[in-house]
Amino acid sequence: MRAIVYAKYGPPDVVALAEVPKPRPKKREVLVRIHATTVTTADWRARSLRLPGGFSVLGRLVFGIFGPRKPILGTELAGEVEAVGDAVTRFQPGDRVFAFTGGRYGSHAQYRTIAETGLIVRMPANLGFEEAASLSFGATNALSFLRDKAGIQRGDQVLILGASGNVGTAAVQLAKHFGAQVTAVCSTANVDLVRSIGADEVIDYTQEDFAQARDRYDIIFDTTGTTSLARCEPSLKQRGRLVAVQGSLAQMLGLERASRQSGKKVIAGVAAVTAGDMELIAQLAERGALRPVIDRRYPLEDAASAHAYVDTGRKRGSVVLRVGACARHFNNDRAALQLSREVRPVRHPS
Ligand SMILES: NC(=O)c1ccc[n+]([C@@H]2O[C@H](COP(=O)([O-])OP(=O)(O)OC[C@H]3O[C@@H](n4cnc5c(N)ncnc54)[C@H](OP(=O)(O)O)[C@@H]3O)[C@@H](O)[C@H]2O)c1
């Protein structure tokens, strides 16, 4: 099968189209023929090793000390079940599914095997493959941070920084689903977008400083890593929380603290995702309460261009890779050539 692989950390052109072995489903696995996947900020970080402050050493331990441990990136996908293992009961060939492969990656390919008990569910009937592929990264992360870590409640005042991004667009919609009053912060170009997905108020940060507000928010949800508890503290209510999705090491270690009497705190960490979260996301999408936002689409073989766009840090929602017959191939490159013998670069058709 064809896949996008990388053999060293670096700029977008370290990813390349290659021929790799097609996986076979084990007893309790399904084999998905992928129709669409995405390039997310997780792919950008794993490819470039550009990590939030304090994480550079830890990053190499996670992704591979001398080079990437997992040659195929891609955290989410949508497609059709092509085959199932002998013991699989939940899925059958032909089912349309979407899945979150998260830190296991492996979705930038024509096929991926996934445990039937993993983060895989049937696609909402009203979505196409590209939309379904764009559902899980932003929504699972937003759900984990808003509901599980921050304990969002009906009637909460929630401010979302980076509201036009992948996690941000999901966070706006999920916060509305949980009954919060949402103020979204974004640049001028994205004001209409965030309003269209349900934000009650929008702050264009080029015109106005969100931090002028006093005792206003129960939750400040920051996907941009541009703020701190010290800056947010006056805007948070008593017991308010700064949710640092892109948390620094200091924030993760709990070193950013407010006075004990205020009860204000930073919440940071890594999102934890369950199969139940995936079911909820599918249901919300089916009801129209969660609409994936797609910015650009690229063919799988142009993954390097998709990475370059994600690297700008300015995408809106998701960047999709269409996985079709891979009509156009290119013989790239150093990255592919350095891979194990199992992984062969694809040659131009003559
Ligand atoms: N802890 C975890 O488990 C976890 C999980 C998922 C993601 N993350 C992290 O969360 C972050 C956001 O991810 P994402 O996928 O949502 O990113 P994204 O889709 O690239 O969106 C980022 C948004 O931030 C805004 N932005 C960029 N630079 C800014 C700046 N200097 N000031 C204000 N806004 C700025 C941009 O909107 P405008 O153009 O409108 O400014 C953009 O839409 C990433 O750093 C990612 O690594 C962490």
Q: What CATH number does the domain containing 127 carry?
A: 3.90.180.10
Same domain, 150 and 190: yes
Same domain, 330 and 243: no
| Number of independent structural domains in the chain | 2
Determine whether the shortest distance from the Cβ of 136 to ligand 1 is under 6 A. no
Determine whether the shortest distance from the Cβ of 224 to ligand 1 is under 6 A. yes
Same domain, 199 and 313: no
CA distance 241 to 89: 42
Same domain, 220 and 301: no
CA distance 65 to 52: 17
Residue ranges making up the domain that contains 298: 2-135+292-345
How close is the Cα of 49 to the center of ligand 1, in Å? 16
Integer angstrom CA distances of residue 252 from 13, 23, 270, 326: 32, 37, 9, 41
Same domain, 308 and 195: no
Write down the pLDDT at residue 350. 29
Query: Do the bridges between strand 111-115 and strand 96-100 make them parallel or antiparallel, or are there none, so unpaired?
Result: unpaired
Give the CATH number for residue 220: 3.40.50.720
Same domain, 163 and 241: yes
Same domain, 86 and 185: no
**Atom number in ligand 1 closest to CA 40:** 15
The model's pLDDT over 101-141, given as tens digits with 9 standing for 90+, comes to: 999 999 999 999 999 999 999 999 999 999 999 999 999 99
Same domain, 83 and 187: no
* 350 part of a folded domain: no
**Can you list the alpha helix ranges (DSSP code H) found in the chain?**
41-48, 56-63, 129-133, 136-143, 166-177, 191-196, 229-232, 249-252, 275-287, 303-311, 334-337
Same domain, 83 and 124: yes
Same domain, 124 and 14: yes
Question: Which region among 56-65, 80-89, 263-272, 320-329 has the lowest average model confidence (pLDDT)?
Answer: 320-329
SS3 168: helix
Best residue for ligand 1 mutational test, from 76, 137, 160, 167 (most atoms within 8 Å of Cβ): 167
* 198 part of a folded domain: yes
* 38 part of a folded domain: yes
Q: Of 164, 205, 173, 122, whose CA–CA distance to 312 is shortest? A: 164
Determine whether the shortest distance from the Cβ of 147 to ligand 1 is under 6 A. no
Over pLDDT 90: what percentage of the chain?
85
**Atom number in ligand 1 closest to CA 225:** 45
Q: How confident is the model at residue 218 (pLDDT cuts 50, 70, 90)?
A: very high
How close is the Cα of 222 to the center of ligand 1, in Å? 8
Write down the pLDDT at residue 56. 80
Residues in Cβ contact with 341 at an 8 Å cutoff, skipping those fewer than 6 apart:
none
Determine whether the shortest distance from the Cβ of 165 to ligand 1 is under 6 A. yes
* 245 part of a folded domain: yes
Same domain, 125 and 142: no
What pTM did the predictor assign?
Answer: 0.93
Residue nearest to atom 3 of ligand 1 (CA): 270
Same domain, 261 and 303: no
How close is the Cα of 168 to the center of ligand 1, in Å? 7
How close is the Cα of 321 to the center of ligand 1, in Å? 19
